[in-house]
Amino acid sequence: MKTSLLPIAGIAVLIPFATGVSHAATLPAPPSSTAEIVAVEAWAFPQEQSSDPSAPVQAQQSAPNATMRVPGSTRSYTLSELGSNFVAPDWFPRDHPPAPHVVLFGRKPAWACGACHYPNGEGDADSATLAGLPKAYIIEQIKAFRDGQRIPPDPSMAEEARNLDDADLQQAADYFSNLKLPPIRRVVGTATVPRTHWDNFVHAPDHDGAREPIGERIIEISNDQKLYDRGDERTGFVAYVPPGSIEAGAKIAAAGTGAAPVCESCHGASLQGADLAGIGIAPPLAGRSPTYIVKELILFRLGKRNNPGAAPMRAEVSRLTLKEMINVAAYAGSRRP
């Protein structure tokens, strides 16, 4: 999230990450084709902006020193502060314990974690929830980003991991692992969804209000795009999922697919996460963004997560169809965090 709040008129930034999908062919019996993976990237891999063909001519832009507020907060930030990765807007400081310096302001050249993950660690479809992830898992993933064992679609997190010093990493990991993810997301089964474009790394409804079939997709929208753009972490999201997917996903989580082992056997009975001593740390999945979950399942499949702890997941995803991934992600996202 968060590189520019200043609207960029009609730029489509569509970089198909799947141009290197040759990795998929080296995994055992991949059930999804390359075409399927390209199709899933189109909705599950957030892009900064894409154009809304129905948008009116660009409204006048605010000046960078314009003061911005959100309802219920006494604080204010300038537009340029909101666009900076060295400031995490902390609209509601009483919603979380005091955050370490690196979380709110970064330490140059490392950016503020909260600028993308929010000060309360709730994250979003793009940046991942950090609230409540085990400390050892956070440290393991930062090391994997640094070593190139985990290759994110957008290189900024890998850059951040390399710029972060170990003392700040310890403090940030301590802080985020002690937070609890608030219930900020509704997951709703539906046959049709608003037609959307990308706005600041989230799906935003097109101006004309058009609707289209959901198909085999998850479309996650902020409850208020304007407040989301300002980094208001109380805004929340709604994730639209295919009808029946939550129920189908519940069966996969609890009973497997026949081919794929049961998610709950590693991620815990209510998908709250578990330490699989010696094998890896299975992070919590309950209440997290279902779009993020599908994105990560695809990244395991493409061989972009290769740290030793990812081995069980690489085996798991080689046995899941895309539809099963969507179903189980819908279910996990619908659980109370």
Backbone φ and ψ of 55, nearest 5°: -70, 145
Assess 309 for contact with ligand HEC (CB under 6 A).
yes
Q: For ligand HEC, which is the closer residue by CB, 91 or 118?
A: 118
Interacting stretch for ligand HEC, rule CB under 6 A, among 31-39, 68-76, 210-218, 301-309? 301-309
Most distant CA atoms of the chain, gap in Å: 58
CB of 188 to ligand HEC, least distance (A): 19
Q: Which stretch binds ligand HEC (CB under 6 A): 21-29, 68-76, 128-136, 227-235?
A: 128-136
Region near ligand HEC per CB under 6 A, out of 10-18, 23-31, 75-83, 278-286 = 278-286
Identity of residue 15: I
Q: Examine residue 282 and tell whether it contacts ligand HEC (CB under 6 A).
A: yes
Asked if 160 is part of the footprint of ligand HEC (rule: CB under 6 A), the reply reads yes
- Of the pair 79, 115, the CB lying nearest ligand HEC is at 115
Q: Are 152 and 158 in contact (CB under 8 A)?
A: yes
- Residue 266 in contact with ligand HEC, rule: CB under 6 A: yes
Q: Which two tokens stand for residue 187?
A: 């997951």
| Interacting residue with ligand HEC among 80, 156, 190, 225 (CB under 6 A) | 156
Q: How far apart are CA 55 and CA 101, in angstroms?
A: 39
CA gap 227, 170 in Å, rounded? 31
Peptide bond into 284 cis (omega under 30): no
Binding status of residue 276 toward ligand HEC by CB under 6 A: yes
Structure-block tokens of residue 28: 């055992």
Whether residue 64 is preceded by a cis peptide bond, meaning omega within 30 degrees of 0, is no
**Comparison of 55 and 254: residue with beta carbon closer to ligand HEC:** 254
Residues 118 and 112 sit within 8 Å (Cβ to Cβ)? no
202 is a contact residue toward ligand HEC (CB under 6 A): no
How many Å apart are CA 110 and CA 179, to the nearest integer? 22
Return the structure tokens found at 325: 């991934």
Place of tokens 């960078």: 64
Q: Which parts of this chain interact with ligand HEC (CB under 6 A)?
A: 85, 102, 110-111, 113, 115-117, 126-128, 130, 133, 138, 140-142, 152-154, 156-157, 160, 164, 172, 252, 260-261, 263, 265-267, 276, 280-283, 285, 293, 295-297, 299, 305, 307, 309-310, 312-313, 316, 320, 328
